């Protein structure tokens, strides 16, 4: 096989062209200034080579020149700064119509889940021509999701969802690297991204073995864990109603308002006392060590799916049920029991 000597990575996403344009501009600037300095030095070195009979001419400096070579590089670099910042903002803001996927990084593999419930390991199939947004979290150390052909990269942190998005433009198979050093088999934490034509992608999705969608699995899990005992849509519930919650602002008991995004939902499950919804008591037990990252993603998918159902938004709730402290142990007992025998949900998903 002839050894390959590629000099430029494949362009396979909408943003790749933008990044490359900036890169080429910077290459141009670098070449220009490097050559300028190199040629000047060579020219001076030859022209003013030490010869008998000629002495150096003493020059103290020139404020005008100093200003020129301060202001011009400053101007150029501000231009680059602005250009690069625009690309960055574009890269950090996923379009709202993006296909949402979920990724979990662990030593040393990538796991992906589709909302339909299909799962993959070290391989990621995505449709061409449609923005794809991946919410990623790490089960252990910091990893980084890097697809050179798409010019995208973002760190995958423990305890926090980071997102990355891209829109692939070329069908094909591309490298997926972990680019943040993550331990012994860091260089083996690689995979492939397969970009497919939309119809092929749909076919591939349909052929995938899925035991129910993420939301359906999440619902099942929600009941198994007994969450349903308190998080009910009726007015007597001890926990906030979760219908219509996702993505909306939530008023907290200390007066702050936060957006109920992935990170909020995750924190509320693992560390329920951290942010108490206004009008409720901090009685929820933690699910730390019980819910793993995959299960967490399913729960979030389920809560997200509740937005499509009719229900009262959280903030409109006017008569919060106050709970007396004496009741708390009973509730906890009740919840434990419900972990085994979950009651049917009052409302069926359509």
**Residues 64 to 123 in contact with other proteins, rule: CB under 8 A:** 65-66, 69-70, 73-74, 77-78, 80-81, 83-92, 107
Cβ neighbours around 62 below 10 Å, total: 9
Based on the shown chain and the rule CB under 8 A, indicate whether residue 318 belongs to the binding site for other proteins.
Answer: no
Question: Which helix (H) or strand (E) covers residue 147, if one does?
Answer: strand 143-147
- Which 186-245 positions form the footprint of other proteins (CB under 8 A)? 186-188
Residue 109 beta carbon to other proteins: minimum distance, rounded to whole angstroms: 15
Of the listed pieces 58-66, 94-102, 194-202, 220-228, which binds other proteins according to CB under 8 A? 58-66
Based on the shown chain and the rule CB under 8 A, indicate whether residue 258 belongs to the binding site for other proteins.
Answer: no
**Backbone Cα Rg of the chain:** 28
Q: Which is nearer to other proteins, 59 or 199 (CB)?
A: 59
Joined together, the tokens standing for residue 300 give 């979030």
Over the window 127 to 166, marking each residue x when it contacts other proteins by CB under 8 A and - when it does not, the resulting string is -------------xxx-x-x-xx-xxxxx-xxxx-x----
Of the listed pieces 110-118, 176-184, 208-216, 295-303, which binds other proteins according to CB under 8 A? 176-184
Q: Which is nearer to other proteins, 313 or 320 (CB)?
A: 320
Cβ atoms of 275 and 262 within 8 Å: the answer is no
Q: Which is nearer to other proteins, 86 or 206 (CB)?
A: 86
Peptide bond into 108 cis (omega under 30): yes
Instruction: Tell me the C-alpha to C-alpha distance, in Å, between residue 275 and each of 235, 256, 283, 293, 332.
Output: 21, 9, 12, 20, 19
Instruction: Tell me the C-alpha to C-alpha distance, in Å, between residue 325 and each of 77, 278, 295, 332.
Output: 61, 17, 31, 12
**Residues binding other proteins: number (CB under 8 A):** 104
- Which 15-34 positions form the footprint of other proteins (CB under 8 A)? 18-19, 22-23, 26, 29-30, 33-34
- Which 267-286 positions form the footprint of other proteins (CB under 8 A)? 271-274, 276, 281-286
Based on the shown chain and the rule CB under 8 A, indicate whether residue 348 belongs to the binding site for other proteins.
Answer: no
Q: Provide the Cα torsion 303, 309, 311, 315; round to 10°.
A: 50
Residue 248 beta carbon to other proteins: minimum distance, rounded to whole angstroms: 21
Residue 193 beta carbon to other proteins: minimum distance, rounded to whole angstroms: 12
H runs (alpha helix) in 58-160? 63-92
Instruction: Give, in degrees to the nearest 5, the angle at Cα 135 between 129 and 139.
Output: 140
Selected from 17, 38, 249, 259, the binder of other proteins by CB under 8 A is 38
**DSSP state at residue 156:** E
């Amino acid at each position: 096989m002839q050894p390959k000597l590629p000099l430029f990575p494949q362009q396979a996403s909408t943003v790749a062209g933008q990044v490359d344009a900036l890169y080429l501009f910077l290459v141009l600037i670098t070449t220009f200034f490097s050559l300028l300095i190199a040629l000047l030095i060579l020219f001076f070195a030859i022209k003013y080579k030490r010869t008998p009979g000629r002495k150096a001419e003493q020059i103290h400096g020139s404020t005008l020149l100093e200003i020129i070579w301060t202001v011009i590089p400053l101007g150029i670099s501000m231009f680059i700064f602005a250009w690069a910042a625009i690309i960055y903002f574009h890269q950090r803001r996923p379009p709202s119509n993006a296909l949402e996927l979920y990724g979990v990084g662990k030593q040393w593999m990538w796991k992906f889940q589709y909302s339909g419930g299909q799962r993959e390991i070290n391989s990621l199939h995505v449709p061409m021509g449609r923005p794809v947004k991946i919410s990623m979290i790490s089960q252990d150390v910091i990893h980084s999701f890097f697809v050179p052909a798409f010019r995208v990269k973002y760190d995958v942190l423990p305890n926090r969802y980071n997102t990355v998005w891209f829109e692939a433009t070329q069908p094909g198979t591309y490298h997926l690297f972990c680019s943040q050093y993550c331990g012994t088999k860091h260089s083996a934490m690689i995979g492939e991204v397969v970009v497919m034509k939309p119809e092929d992608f749909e076919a591939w999705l349909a052929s995938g073995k899925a035991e129910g969608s993420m939301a359906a699995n999440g619902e099942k899990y929600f009941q198994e864990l007994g969450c349903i005992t308190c998080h009910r849509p009726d007015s007597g519930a001890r926990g906030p109603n979760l219908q219509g919650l996702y993505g909306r602002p939530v008023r907290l008991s200390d007066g702050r308002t936060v957006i109920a995004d992935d990170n909020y939902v995750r924190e509320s499950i693992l560390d329920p006392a951290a942010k108490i919804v206004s009008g409720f008591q901090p009685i929820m037990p933690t699910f730390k060590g019980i819910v793993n990252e995959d299960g967490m993603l399913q729960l979030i998918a389920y809560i997200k799916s509740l937005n499509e159902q009719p229900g009262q938004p959280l903030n409109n709730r006017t008569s919060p049920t106050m709970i007396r402290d004496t009741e708390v142990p009973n509730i906890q007992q009740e919840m434990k029991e419900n972990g085994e025998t979950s009651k049917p949900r009052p409302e069926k998903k359509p």
